[in-house]
Amino acid sequence: MPELPEVETVVRDLRPLLLGRSFVKIAVSRKSLRRKWSRAWEATLLDRCVHAIRRRGKWIVIELGIPCLVAHLGMTGQLTVASADQPREAHTHVVFTLDDQTELRFRDVRRFGSVTVFPTMVHADRYFLQISLGPEPFDLTDGRWFGSLNATRRNLKAILLDQTIVAGVGNIYADESLFEARLHPTTLGNAVTRKQAKSLRLAMVAVLTRAIEKRGSSIRDYIGGSGLKGEMQNEFRVYGRTGEPCRRCRTTIVRIVLAGRSTHYCPRCQVLGTIVEPQRLRRARASRSPKATG
DNA sequence: ACAGGATCCTGGGGGC
DNA sequence: TGCCCCCAGGATCCTG
């Protein structure tokens, strides 16, 4: 499932393969993607030089001088560069032939992804503004982050998945970040202390940074821009580990459904971030301590 | 405001 | 072996 680290890996892979190249031909399959492809876009893209490739949240932005190509990988999207003589795999929906006999290919089995063209970068940025795309996790300040959490009674899992609050986090890294911060996924945003908010922000940054280093997670469909798989799936602490022992305390990892998504956590390591009065805290500690008999 | 569910979509896996 | 059903989950829409 392409989230921020996977999209970042694709962008980094594509950069050397696309920069300075131009599109000489575009072929689009009949099957529709999430957003309908317009034939009128093709003329605006042809014979233009790729100036820059960047990521915004889970979006890939390819700047071609004035117009820009904006792609979202959805669940199973792949954006790769391959030699033109390499056979095209099934579910390849858009093929951009480059001026060096290679092809930029958009493949998406489940077609939740999209490829769109904006006339200028201003239009693309306006679109991100229109969908209220939140800040990058690496740009979040503690003040803004705590403010966002504090302003809602939604649970932390739902907050992390909300692209208007923080852009780029999906189901995998939401669960992994919550484990790293030792916060229970059902914790309500406004029950989180400043300290907990900060630890969640730092956990998110650490998990995403590590995942980028490992070229993302390849569970089923995800591959980078050069076709290489990621390695982060080998380091999951909770995601997809239902019934397995926690790597920290050996307690069985639990799966629940939150915000309509599978949510994995360690019931022992991850605590509810509620503000607990000192008296209740002492009682809770006493009940946890080992008993003299039994 | 927010939770929960349905929708889109296909392939893989489990059960029988 | 084949068939049915469920599951995966990003974005978006709808309902309660």
Q: What angle do CA A195, A202, A196 make, to 5 degrees?
A: 20
Separation in Å: C15 C1' and A259 CA: 16
* Residue range A4-130, CATH number: 3.20.190.10
Q: What are the sequence ranges of the domains in chain A? A: 4-130, 137-278
Helix (H, G, I), strand (E, B) or coil at A194: helix
Nucleic strand C contact set for A 146-205 (CB, < 7 Å): 161, 163, 170-172
| Annotated catalytic residue A58 | yes
> What is the 3-state secondary structure of A43-84?
HHHECCECCEEEEECCEEEEECCCCEEEEECCCCEEEEEEEC
Write the CB contacts of A84 (distance below 8 Å, at least 6 apart in sequence). A97, A101, A102, A103
**What CA–CA distances, in Å, run from A230 to A63, A72, A109, A157?**
26, 18, 19, 24
The pLDDT value recorded for residue A156 is 93
Chain B, protein-covered positions (CB within 7 A): 1-12
The pLDDT value recorded for residue A21 is 97
What tokens appear for A259 in the block?
Answer: 């915000």
| Measured distance CA(A78)–CA(A105) in Å, rounded | 8
The pLDDT value recorded for residue A292 is 32
Amino acid at A192: V
Q: Could you state, in chain order, the average pLDDT of each consecutive group of 10 residues for chain A (294 residues)? A: 90 95 91 81 93 94 94 91 92 94 92 91 90 92 92 91 93 93 92 93 94 85 77 88 91 88 91 52 43 30
The pLDDT value recorded for residue A211 is 93
Q: Which CATH class is domain A137-278?
A: mainly alpha
The pLDDT value recorded for residue A147 is 92
Separation in Å: B7 C1' and A290 CA: 50
> pTM surpassing 0.85?
yes
**Dihedral sign, CA of A27, A30, A34, A38?**
positive
- C-alpha dihedral, A110 to A116 to A121 to A123, nearest 10°: -110
The pLDDT value recorded for residue A103 is 95
Amino acid at A28: V
The pLDDT value recorded for residue A274 is 54
- C-alpha dihedral, A268 to A242 to A249 to A211, nearest 10°: -110
Q: How many CB atoms lie within 10 A of CB A277?
A: 8
Tell me which residue of A19, A30, A22, A11 sits closest to A70, measured CA to CA.
Answer: A11
